[in-house]
Amino acid sequence: MKILVTPRSVTRTQGHPSLKPIGDAGYDVVFSTPGELPGEDELLKLLPGCTGYLAGVEKISAKLLDAAPGLRVISRNGTGVDSIDLEAAERNGIEVCRALGANARGVAELTLGLILGLIRSIPYSDAAMKTRGWARREGVELAGRTLGLIGCGVVGKCVARFALAFDMNVAAFDPYPDLNFQPGARFSRVDMAGLLAQSDIISLHCPPTADGKPLVDATMISRMKDGVYLVNTARSSLLDQDAALCALASGKISGIAVDAFASEPPADWRLTLDPRVIATPHIGGYTGESIERAMSVAVYNLLHALATSNDAAKARKAHV
């Protein structure tokens, strides 16, 4: 009757009100190290003996799941499950739940902030002023520019609405488009080639590729407009870092903003240290509102799945 809770946004205080229903349902809450992303060694000590697991973005390996035979449910406080070995979860009979769209607004608002930071050189100007320097870079305005969205799910749709409010054109590519989404006359659905050819700014809002290879590689970058801006608030594996650095050096890409990293903090700092890059430490969904929504959904999903599992077990026992 134990639930492991690991999202850093709630382990920092260990008293988030969204966790109250877990205690009310009779479960004991086990926390990982406050405010830190737990590694496999720590999880191997904490997870065995737990019935449920309310998980953050940490890697959840087959080794870990095999070591927790009593685990029945993993509930993510976000959308992505690429950090979870889903085959191992299925093999062990563990249900995996996602808090779909719960942090979409926070990620979308950060995306817009990063776009504005890039085109107006806001971090550059601020850094100069703090050293009593007076350095200015000429910016560009968003009106009439084209924003290309690679992925137009919940986050992408929100970003599209924001961009249209700035009088931008929005070109969206999604392999499974929502044809009912038509937020304005300046919005269009395009293929990837069309998106790359016309976009002044490209923002990534898609899952990792099936084979784990970068989506944005040297070949794709070569098909973009010269001087394009690139924003990645999705997954670090989508972007080939070496190709991105080369494109920044040549001027093919004017600037990049990133909020997604393979490890936290990054093991490779080259991209984040480039002066044409704005880097943020995975703060897209790190707002009070997003945390509240994501945790509430994750807790509900967890308790509902556990209750369903308990009912099924009782039914099987009664049948026997």
Q: Which residues are catalytic?
A: 235, 264, 282
Question: Which long-range contacts does 170-175 make (Cβ < 8 Å, 24+ apart)?
Answer: 170/146, 171/146, 171/147, 171/195, 171/198, 171/199, 172/148, 173/148, 173/149, 174/149, 174/206
What distance in Å separates the CA atoms of residue 261 and residue 229, rounded to the nearest whole number? 18
Contacts of residue 272, defined as CB under 8 A and 6 or more positions apart, other chains included, come to 258, 266, 279
> Are the CB atoms for 177 and 161 separated by under 8 Å?
no
The DSSP-derived string for 118-172 is: HHTTHHHHHHHHHTT----------TT-EEEEE--SHHHHHHHHHHHHTT-EEEE
Distance of CA 67 to the CA centre of its chain: 27
Q: Decide if 194 contacts 78 (C-beta within 8 A).
A: no
CA distances from 179 to 153, 183, 187, 188 (A): 11, 11, 12, 11
Give 294's strand partners: none
Q: Are the beta carbons of 73 and 309 closer than 8 angstroms?
A: yes
Token pair in block for residue 42: 């720590």
Where do we find the tokens 């003996």?
49
Question: Looking at residue 234, what DSSP letter applies?
Answer: S
CA dihedral 131, 231, 289, 307 (to 10 degrees): -140
Q: Letter for the amino acid at 65? A: L
